[in-house]
Amino acid sequence: MPNPRLTGLGSGLFCAAVMLVLGFLDELLFGASLTVYGVLFVPVSLLTALWVRRGDLLTAPVVVPIAFAVGLVTVAESGDGLGGRLMGLVTALATEAGWLYGGTLVAGSTVIVRRIRLMRRRAATRNRPQV
C-alpha cells in the first residue's frame, strides 16, 4: 500500500479530485446513482484521513464534506439554469446526508485514533529513562 503524507491542502485537493472523478464514473456507469456515490465516498474519506500528515490531522474531517459536495455536482439532478442546478445540489445534499455524515464520522474517528497514538508515542519517548 502506498503511504503518502499529504498536507492539509493536498488532502483536500486529493479528496475533491477523487470524488469528482468518481462522480463522473458513477454518472457514466450507473446513471448518476446517489447511493453508489455515497458508498464510494466512505473509503475515500478513510484514505484521506489515513494519508494526511500528522501536523494537518484536523483538516481531514473538514475537507471531506467539502469534497463530497464538489463531486456531488456531477451526479445531482439538474434543472434548467443555475437555479435548477443549485436546487438539485441542495436536494441531493439533503437526501444523501447519511452518507455525508458517515464518511465524515469515519474520517473524524480515524483522525482521533491517529492523534491519540501520536500523543502516546510522544509521551513514551518523553518518559523513557535516559541512559
Per-residue model confidence as pLDDT tens digits over 19-51 = 999 999 999 999 999 999 999 999 999 999 999
For the stretch 107-131, pLDDT in tens is: 999 999 999 999 999 998 888 877 6
Q: What is the DSSP string of 67-131?
A: HHHHHHHHHS---SHHHHHHHHHHHHHHHTHHHHHHHHHHHHHHHHHHHHHHHHHHHHHHHSPP-
Place of cell 499529504: 6
Residues belonging to the chain: 131
How much is the pTM?
A: 0.89
70 residue type, one letter: V
For the stretch 56-95, pLDDT in tens is: 999 999 999 999 999 999 999 887 888 998 999 999 999 9
* Euclidean distance between CA atoms 89 and 69, whole angstroms: 8
